[in-house]
Structure 1
Amino acid sequence: MSFNPNLPVVIEVAIGVERGTKFPHWMLMLRSENDAFGTWYHSTGGPTQNQPYKIEIQGHKRSNSRGIQSLRHIGTISPQDVKKVNAAAKRVPAQQCQRYVTSLVCELERKGMVASGTAQELANRVQMSKAAWDYSQQHPVQQPAGIHYPNINFPTAGPSRTNQSAGSGRRPHPQNPSNSPPKSTVRPANPSTRKQENSGGCCIVM
């Protein structure tokens, strides 16, 4: 995990490619400004991989990996603050990848590294398979105070859809085709230079 000490470090949420009925994998990425390589912070494993969730911090990873569909810039920090992100990444419990990134961003938000409300925007976009949801009920992980996830409704087939309460009833929460958080400028990865990477796969629907 090498960062240029003379350049700011950008914080990005990496949204993985959605393949068929697989929900996109989420990661947090840190890299020096204008650097093509950075560090991934993510949670892998889970019920669809038949193993417990685990936190992975992987350095020298391409920002234009084939497995990344889009990147959302959410903040900029000094190189000296990278160690705070590392500590937070290890402190947040391993769990379903999208919830892990949301919880990690919440930690950074409280430290003033990202704008207020960013974590809740991410929470509104979290998708979970039935297998991941059942696992989360059997192995509960305390979620950050103040973060509210939409109610999850599982259809009889296909990917799950998130619902959001509205008054006394419930209405389906609109889906973003790219599954990227709202109110953002998303930079698509460059398909001509991307290199295949293993981005986890904890979001595969059984």
Structure 2
Amino acid sequence: MRISELSARSGVSIASIKYYLREGLLTSGQQSATNQADYNEDHVRRLRLIRSLIDIGGLSIAKVRAALTATEDETTPMHDAFGAVMHGLDELPTDDASTDIAAAYDEVQAWLEARNWKIEDGAPAPYRLAELIATLRRFGFPAAATDFDNSADFVERTAEAEVQYARSMPDRTAAVETMLIGTVIYERALVEVRRLALEAASFRLDETD
């Protein structure tokens, strides 16, 4: 297919496709004539993954490149390929942590160890959880890492199912895309469910007053 059809099939503009080609995110098509190339279904799938990483995952071009490299390298364990995408969804802050965040971070690390959750050093999520706990405490909430045990028990069960489903995909590209979309969309769904629960709880309390 020509680049115009590739654009129509993938939903990505020709200008963006050319940009991805220049940046090395998308492999070149088969040269068919001067200034013309033919593309195939692999290019459609690659563009779909690139757009998922950028639009859904919010990854920068540099992070997309790292994720794609991990996806393509068959010697990279699938866990590390997933990690390249998952860790790319957030970044560690460059500023030194305040005292209360540092204390919460130590608490989170102890909580992870107690749960036997093996998390890679430098992963952003433990720090972000520590930030959130410290922020809750600043506003007077008696928050602690152990307050999330029930939620952690639930998401641990669903996480295993999600990872197994992603790993059942026919190839690494599909597996990484499934893991990314499942992670981001499912997280948003859980947030909306909690908001619904809060509104329902408020309504019930009004009825009992």
Q: After TM superposition, is the score higher than 0.5?
A: no
Over alpha carbons, which structure has the higher Rg?
Answer: 2
Question: Relative to total residues, which structure has the larger strand share, 1 or 2?
Answer: 1
The interval holding the TM-score normalised by the smaller chain is under 0.3
The higher-RCO structure (CA 8 Å, 6+ apart) is 1
Question: Relative to total residues, which structure has the larger helix share, 1 or 2?
Answer: 2
Q: Normalised by the size of structure 2, how large is the TM-score? A: 0.25
